[in-house]
Amino acid sequence: MYKQQTLSFKLKTLNSKLLSLSNEELKQELLNLHPSLIFEEGGDWMNMFIDPLEWLSFAKQLRAKENLFFDYLFCLTCVDWKTHLTMVYHLSSLRYHHNIVVKSKLNRENAQIETVCRIWKTAEFHEREVFELFGVNFLNHPDLRLLILPEGWEGKFPLRKDFEDPVNMIKL
C-alpha cells in the first residue's frame, strides 16, 4: 500500500504544478457553469452570490469539474444582516490552489438551504453548528440537532442579532 500511496501522491503534486487557472479564466469558467452568478468586488478572493435553490447543483459541479476541483471546504458560516441571513462558504482547491467564496441570501423567517455534507463531509458538523446558532434549516441533512448548545436551547438561536437573554447575558 505504501508504493501505491507514493505513486498517487507524486501524480497529484505534478498536476498542481501544471494547470492553475488565473482569476479571469476562473471567473469565465464559473460563469459558464452558472450564468446567473453575481460577482462582488473587493476582498482577497472572488466573492459570488448564488440563489439558495441552485446551490446544490452548483456545488456538485464545483467539486466534480476537472479543472476547478474545489475539494476543500475550509469555512462554512452564516452572517445575520438584520433584514436577511447570508450563508458563506469558503472553498479551496488543494490541487490548483485557487480559492473562492460563495454566498447565498436566505429569508429570516424561513431560512433553508440544501446540505452539502454529501459532497464535503466536513459540512456535517459545521451545518449543525449554523443550525443551532442561527436557525438555518439544512434540507436532507442526516442528523440535524444541537451540537454545542445544551438541551433546551432549540429555538433560541443565540448568534442572531435580536437574541435577548436577560438571565445569562450581563451587558457591559
Contact stretch for another protein (CB under 8 A) within 25-33, 53-61, 104-112, 161-169? 161-169
Residue with Cβ nearer another protein (1 or 32): 1
Of 120, 131, 135, 136, the one binding another protein by CB under 8 A:
120
Residue with Cβ nearer another protein (83 or 171): 171
d(CA 149, CA 72): 27
SS (H, E, C) 106-143: ECCCCCEEECCCCCCCCHHHHHHHHHHHHCCEEECCCC
Of 38, 53, 79, 139, the one binding another protein by CB under 8 A:
79
Contact stretch for another protein (CB under 8 A) within 22-30, 51-59, 77-85, 105-113? 77-85
d(CA 74, CA 42): 20
Cell numbers placing 92:
479551496
Residue with cell 504544478: 17
165 lies in the binding site for another protein (CB under 8 A): yes
64 lies in the binding site for another protein (CB under 8 A): no
Closest CA to 26 of 69, 85, 83: 69
How near is the Cβ of 26 to another protein at its closest, in Å?
17
Q: What does each C-alpha distance from 67 to 15, 71, 98, 146 come to in angstroms? A: 10, 12, 11, 37
Binding positions for another protein, rule: CB under 8 A: 2, 5-6, 8-9, 12-13, 42-45, 47, 71-75, 77, 79-80, 88, 90, 94, 97, 101, 117-118, 120-122, 124-126, 142-143, 146-150, 158-159, 163, 165, 168-172
